[in-house]
Amino acid sequence: MSLELKNLSRVVDGQTWINDVNLTLEPGSFNVFLGRTLAGKTSLMRLIAGLDKPTTGQIMMNGVDVTGVPVKDRNISMVYQQFINYPNLTVYDNIASPLRLANISEATIRKRVHETAEMLHIEPYLHRLPLELSGGQQQRTAMARALVKEATIVLFDEPLVNLDYKLREELRLELRELFKERNTIAIYATTEPNEALALGGTTTVLHEGRVLQYGPTAEVYHRPKDILTAEMFSEPPINVVNGRVTESEVSFDQTVHFPLNQDLRGLKPGQYQFGVRASHIGLVPQNDDDLELSVKVDLAEISGSETFLHVRNDYMNLVLHLSGVHGYDVDEDINIYFPTHKLYAFDMNGQMVQAPARKVGG
């Protein structure tokens, strides 16, 4: 069953929560809604589910207008951030509950519950109560209850956000595999660009209730249509530096100069905003055209096995995303290496005019 959102808007107390969204999702597709908190991801999911009504626009399922159809009459399942299970029911009965509401025979229920539990690796726990399970097992139970219905659309509203890193990685991989063989439309909301990349499929980038860009995840990541999309699809946000292009070179603040490389030669002379991802700036040169910059350290932000290094000089502020733990003192002088062949060029209105022609990786 296809899903089409036509000019969908929702206004609450004079505030626009969803702003003229047009989107078509195909059967069997895995779709990511990516955006910061309050971008509109949950609001859009609630409209799709029928939990809220749009102010304007239509929701079409398989060509049929279901805008006014109540939630109970839409074959949709939803998984939330919290582990929402019935605490007084066993795992088996939790998973079976939507099938019993649909008056499915007990023999069919038994078969589908065991198949779904096996798929999510919780079959040994079917006779336990939810509070006897770990957090990951509780979330698998909630996911199993959503999947056992064989709904045409399954909505995942940041379902892994409360789990530890290792478990999130594991469930992410399983989710992607689960939907490969299904004809279901899966929609997964996240605030994390790296999670969107790991899940693949298609990505819709949302901001303040608007769709900034939609398409295959890798395409949206590598070719963001504007600076705002590039910022949303980068963790930390993409670095942006103002520069000028002449017939032969690029300059930043009329101080730093480097020759136009093969990726930038198509740019007309003029002012641009150049973007570079934090993970592409390094502490050692990787390519012949890496630009050496002298900077001072503002902050070395260590997060587990990664370091977000905030640096500055007289003409730019940058953030580096480094693997490993790197300790630096505030105001320490260091050299960094800026990859001129991995620059995105945006016009002064923020629209992308040139993406790196060469593969730029993560």
Q: How do residues 159-195 score in pLDDT, each as one tens digit?
A: 887 777 777 787 787 777 777 767 789 999 999 999 9
Residue 43 is assigned to a structural domain of this protein: yes
Residue 361 is assigned to a structural domain of this protein: no
Residue 169 is assigned to a structural domain of this protein: yes
Residue bearing the bigger pLDDT, 167 or 9: 9
Q: How do residues 312-346 score in pLDDT, each as one tens digit?
A: 998 899 999 999 999 899 999 999 999 998 999 99
13: CATH: 3.40.50.300
Question: 211 and 280 share a domain?
Answer: no
Residue that finishes a domain, picked among 207, 227, 247: 227
Residue 98 is assigned to a structural domain of this protein: yes
Question: 179 and 41 share a domain?
Answer: yes
Residue bearing the bigger pLDDT, 314 or 296: 296
Question: 279 and 212 share a domain?
Answer: no
Residue bearing the bigger pLDDT, 173 or 122: 122
Question: 210 and 269 share a domain?
Answer: no
Residue that finishes a domain, picked among 227, 248, 263: 227
What's the gap between Cα 42 and its chain centre? Answer: 13
Question: 98 and 217 share a domain?
Answer: yes
Question: 142 and 207 share a domain?
Answer: yes
CA distances from 249 to 31, 154, 262 (A): 41, 51, 11
Centre a 10 Å sphere on the Cβ of residue 62 and count the other Cβ atoms it contains: 11
- Enter the tokens of residue 202: 């298609």
pLDDT band at 149 (very low <50, low <70, confident <90, very high): confident
Q: Indicate the number of domains in the chain.
A: 2
**Cβ–Cβ under 8 Å, residues 133 and 120:** no
Residue that finishes a domain, picked among 180, 196, 227: 227
What does the pLDDT read at residue 119?
A: 81
Q: Is the pLDDT of residue 263 over 80?
A: no
Residue 308 is assigned to a structural domain of this protein: yes
Question: 206 and 275 share a domain?
Answer: no
Q: How do residues 40-61 score in pLDDT, each as one tens digit?
A: 999 999 999 999 999 999 999 9
Question: 170 and 77 share a domain?
Answer: yes
Tokens 């065991």 sit on residue: 114
Residue 108 is assigned to a structural domain of this protein: yes
What does the pLDDT read at residue 264?
A: 84
Question: 138 and 53 share a domain?
Answer: yes
Question: 221 and 247 share a domain?
Answer: no
**Cβ–Cβ under 8 Å, residues 266 and 308:** no
What integer is the mean pLDDT of 285-305?
89
Q: Bin 44: left if φ > 0, else alpha if -120 < ψ < 50, else beta.
A: alpha
Residue 201 is assigned to a structural domain of this protein: yes
Question: 54 and 76 share a domain?
Answer: yes
Q: From 212, 222, 224, select the one nearest 33 (Cα to Cα).
A: 212
Residue 182 is assigned to a structural domain of this protein: yes
Cα distance between residue 39 and residue 302, in whole Å: 27
Range of the domain at 284: 239-354
Q: Is the pLDDT of residue 362 over 60?
A: no
Q: How do residues 217-251 score in pLDDT, each as one tens digit?
A: 999 999 999 999 999 999 899 999 999 999 989 99
What does the pLDDT read at residue 305?
A: 84
Question: 206 and 288 share a domain?
Answer: no
What integer is the mean pLDDT of 13-39?
95
What does the pLDDT read at residue 129?
A: 96
pLDDT band at 360 (very low <50, low <70, confident <90, very high): very low
Q: What pTM did the predictor assign?
A: 0.89
What's the gap between Cα 226 and its chain centre? Answer: 17
294: CATH: 2.40.50.140
